[in-house]
């Protein structure tokens, strides 16, 4: 598959950047609720489709752990990579795990759009990965930073997508067991826009 806009389930992973308690409380309550809900949908769909999930935590001693709902949905395989650098790629432990997963496409969600999400995406693009930013599953404290980050990343070569677009691309068709398990998640959702 050569079209960067088409996700291939066999070649895709899901990367969650720094959705931590103390960062989440700095976001508008409604915004973080939508972002967390969409991340949890992607986690559940990823598990159903056997898509690997990798999670980072920025300085957890200060910013706290990943939101509990995400940890619970990931389950026993939850093993976050701690980092200090804004780009996850600056952390050797992350780079080793990421390289070993060996997928071409990266669905990416997290906090904050204009800092860790942006810098990680730029490094992944530089390494030749195709990054799909889940625009309804990333956020910043300020709407202007989120909006500018989406424009910046589109210009840099990332695909700006949404939770529903990505999941239905991965499903590819109706009537499958995966479709039957995942499609009900989209029947009752909050507003699509996180900001």
> What are the φ and ψ backbone dihedral angles of 23, each rounded to 5 degrees?
-75, -40
Assigned domain for 190 exists: no
- Residue 189 resides in a domain: no
Q: Which residues pair with 58 in a beta bridge?
A: 83
Is residue 194 a contact partner of residue 34, using CB atoms and an 8 Å limit? yes
Is residue 4 assigned to a domain? no
The whole-angstrom separation of Cα 161 and Cα 131 is: 10
Token representation of residue 29: 């309550």
In a domain, 125, yes or no: yes
What pLDDT is recorded for position 190? 54
Domain limits at 68? 9-184
What pLDDT is recorded for position 195? 47
Rounded CA-CA distance 119/102 in Å is 20
- Active-site residue identified among 47, 116, 136, 139: 116
Angle at 157 between CA 109 and CA 59, to 5 degrees: 35
Decide: helix, strand or coil at residue 152.
helix
Which of the residues 18, 47, 103, 139 is marked catalytic? 18
In a domain, 191, yes or no: no
The whole-number pLDDT of residue 192 equals 47
**Axis-axis angle for helices 118-126, 143-156 (nearest 10):** 0
Residue with tokens 């909050």: 190
Q: Is residue 194 part of a domain?
A: no
Question: Catalytic: 83?
Answer: yes
Q: Is 116 a catalytic residue?
A: yes
Number of separate domains in the chain: 1
Question: Residue 178's pLDDT is what?
Answer: 85
- 8 among known catalytic residues: no
Catalytic residue among 83, 123, 136, 139: 83
CATH number for the domain that contains residue 129? 3.40.50.850
pLDDT in tens, the chain (195 residues): 468 999 999 999 999 999 999 999 999 999 999 999 999 999 999 999 999 999 999 999 999 999 999 999 999 999 999 999 999 999 999 999 999 999 999 999 999 999 999 999 999 999 999 999 999 999 999 999 999 999 999 999 999 999 999 999 999 989 888 888 888 888 765 544 554
Cβ–Cβ under 8 Å, residues 166 and 132: yes
What is d(CA 40, CA 24) in angstroms, rounded to the nearest whole number? 15
């Amino acid at each position: 598959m050569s079209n960067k806009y088409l996700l291939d389930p066999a070649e895709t992973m899901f990367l969650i950047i720094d959705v931590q308690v103390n960062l989440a409380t700095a976001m508008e309550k409604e915004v973080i609720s939508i972002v967390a809900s969409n991340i949890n949908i992607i986690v559940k769909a990823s598990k159903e489709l056997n898509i690997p999930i990798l999670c980072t935590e920025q300085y957890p001693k200060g910013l706290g752990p990943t939101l509990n709902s995400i940890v619970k949905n990931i389950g026993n395989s939850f093993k976050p990579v701690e980092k200090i650098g804004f780009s996850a790629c600056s952390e050797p432990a992350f780079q080793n795990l990421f390289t070993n997963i060996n997928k071409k496409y990266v669905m990416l969600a997290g906090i904050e759009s204009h800092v860790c999400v942006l810098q990680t995406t730029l490094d992944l693009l530089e390494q030749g990965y195709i990054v799909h930013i889940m625009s309804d599953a990333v956020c910043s404290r300020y709407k202007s930073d989120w909006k500018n980050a989406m424009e910046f990343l589109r210009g840099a070569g990332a695909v700006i997508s949404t939770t529903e677009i990505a999941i239905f691309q991965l499903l590819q068709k109706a009537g499958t067991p995966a479709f039957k398990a995942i499609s009900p998640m989209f029947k009752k959702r909050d507003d699509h826009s996180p900001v």
